Copies of this chain bind each other. A is one copy, B any other.
Amino acid sequence: MITVGIIGGTGYTGVELLRLLAVHPEVRLQVITSRAEAGRAVSELFPSLRRYVDMVFVEPQASSLQSCDVVFSAAPNGVAMSYAPELLKAGVKLIDLAADFRLTDAALWKQWYGVPHACPELLDEAVYGLPEVNRERIRKARLVANPGCYPTAVQLGFMPLLEQGLVDVNHLVADAKSGVSGAGREAKVPNLYAEAADNLKAYAVPGHRHSPEIRQGLERVCGQPVGLTFVPHLTPMIRGIHATLYARLLDPGTEVNLQTVYERRYADEPFVDVMPAGSHPETRSVRGENTCRIAVHRPGGDTIIVLAVIDNLVKGAAGQAVQNMNILFGLSETLGLEHPAVLP
């Protein structure tokens, strides 16, 4: 059994981690921290976990994080980096679900997150936890930077095109739609039901923190600078991301079969599902599940359209973190993640 600790488990990625780990056959939940809720039963905050989780939130300093095999940080940006050096020194593996170790460039991190990075020396070691790209590096990692939700969907969607050098990488467009849980469990007016229901808006059009993360990932894939227009939208769903991706073929006359390109690329991936030609994946088809479903279209002309859906809390956060844990510890990659989506 793997002993697991969780830092900051009171948000949506926290409760989702607990949902998955509570019934993971190789996991023993050992400790969960929260400054705000210390002393309170987890199942009091999240009654859905009654009978599954009988832990109590503890203050971080009073915790036994260092005696865990692995620690997940589900705390906000900037927290994991304050724990990382000590945990790694103690031989604990760390999977950060926030952004602290996603960007390799500390200056870029500071630019987007507003504070200097606390341990830039670890940025090189940290492995970006997108198994479909980095599986082998994850296997040997001590520190995994779990990708953001938008970046997961957008990278998985664009990757085959970029790997094959099929499209103009200077003019990629990612129009992404997210459910409200992506904004977290903090009490903010724009995320109130009466604000977000029956409503849709773009946000952060001048610049979103996930842009540099996506660009970094795509540039690794194609080995050159990438021009990306990324527009996120807030939509009235609890969960779900739908990325609609637009790319222009470099050679419109090409005979390439895009469907085959995608199917081959993801043939061995347990959590990427390339749908039949002509499909339109729905976000609910992955609700609660660790899968990215993709369809690729070329309706005429030289513009390719890729549709990629994930559950932002699962493949876009907690599920992918568990997938990374499975890889880190040499377990079957799908262990504890094999449940169909909840539909309807």
- A18 to chain B: closest residue by CB: B340
Pick the contact of A242: B18, B201, B248, B341 (CB < 8 A): B201
Residue pair B185, A200 in contact (C-beta under 8 Å): no
A328 to chain B, nearest CB (A): 23
> Which residues 143-186 of A sit at the B interface, judged by CB distance below 8 A?
171, 173, 175, 177, 179-181, 183, 185-186
CB distance from A111 to the nearest CB of B (A): 14
Copies of this chain: 4
In the complex, are the beta carbons of A236 and B193 less than 8 A apart? Answer: yes
Partner-contacting stretch, out of A46-54, A61-69, A76-84, A88-96: A46-54
Among A131-139, A257-265, A295-303, the one that faces the other chain is: A295-303
Contact of A342 (CB < 8 Å), options: B193, B283, B288: B288
Contact B343–A175 (Cβ < 8 Å): no
Cβ–Cβ contact A284 & B198, under 8 A: yes
Q: Mark A279-307, 1 if CB is under 8 A from B, else 0.
A: 11111111111000100010111010101
Interchain residue pairs with CB less than 8 A apart (19):
A19-B340, A22-B340, A23-B340, A48-B343, A50-B275, A50-B285, A171-B248, A171-B303, A173-B173, A177-B177, A180-B194, A185-B195, A192-B192, A197-B197, A197-B238, A197-B344, A200-B283, A201-B281, A287-B342
